[in-house]
Amino acid sequence: MRILVVEDEKKVASFIKKGLEEEYYSVDVAFDGKEGLNLALSEEYDLIILDLMLPFKDGLSILKEIREQKILTPVIILTARDTIQDKVTGLDTGADDYLAKPFSFEELLARIRAILRRNSVEKNNIIRAGDLILDTQAHKVFRNNVEIQLTPKEYAILEYLMRNKNRVISRTKLSEHIYEFHFDPGTNVIDVYINKLRNKIDKGYEKQMIRTIRGVGYLIKDD
């Protein structure tokens, strides 16, 4: 899952980026409001973490503009301003949640998981398809009750397919949701990862969980 962090305090931004990457998210950072708005409008994110007081363009204006453009990406406002009125204005402008600085990173992670659950098939942190189980909090994967060791990128691809199970996901969409902005993975990198995933997940099983839809993309079907 890919997250945009709009935060002008470099220390805070790099702390968040590092912490999120340790949780297998891929993260883009914008250090001012203009860049933040550009990225939010042009890239595909699963979630945006938005500071309010920013150079060039404040967080609330960014939020307003992306909602006017019908971009429904969930937004968590992260700011030192935490009066009741600030929270109300933020939520009314279209934020999904609000966290006041200083914040606990554990709480931020829990809120991110809760928001991603809303748009997903999962009702807790466990996603199932047949005998394949993915624990999005512990980042663990099991098939037929046997734990499977995945690299962070393999995990990220599987997580995206599982969160969108029963839907065909194109290679482009997959790479958009697991790589940062300046990374060009090339066309066949996704296929290479899918092959590695199949070796770990499907090898030795009659039922193949990861299906290729020729000319379109990949699908995990829950049936």
Contacting residues toward Ca ion, per CB under 5 A: 8, 51, 53
Closer CB to Ca ion, 8 or 65, in the complex:
8
Alpha carbons 86 and 98: distance in angstroms, whole number: 9
Q: Shortest distance, CB of residue 123 to Ca ion, whole angstroms? A: 35
Closest CB to Ca ion among residues 53, 114: 53
The least CB distance from residue 50 to Ca ion, in Å, is 10
51 versus 154: smaller Cβ distance to Ca ion:
51
214 Cβ neighbours under 8 A, 6+ residues apart: none
Task: Write down the least CB distance from residue 161 to Ca ion, Å.
Answer: 36
Q: Are 24 and 159 in contact (CB under 8 A)?
A: yes
**Smallest distance, Ca ion to C-beta of residue 39, A:** 17
Q: Which residues contact 197 (CB under 8 A, 6 or more apart)?
A: 150, 154, 157, 158, 210
* Residue in the shown chain whose Cβ atom is closest to Ca ion: 53
Rounded to a whole number of angstroms, the minimum distance from the CB of residue 64 to Ca ion is 17
Pick the closer one to Ca ion by CB: 8 or 35.
8
Task: Identify whether the C-beta of residue 95 lies closer than 8 Å to the C-beta of residue 77.
Answer: yes
Give the Cα separation of 62 and 112 in Å (integer). Answer: 20
Q: Which CB sits closer to Ca ion, 8 or 86?
A: 8
For Ca ion, give the closer residue by CB, 59 or 217. Answer: 59
Q: Return d(Cα 42, Cα 34) in angstroms, integer.
A: 12
Question: Closest by alpha carbon to 146, among 165, 131, 130, 124?
Answer: 131
Distances (CA, A) of 78 to 60, 108, 122, 137, 159: 11, 9, 25, 22, 26
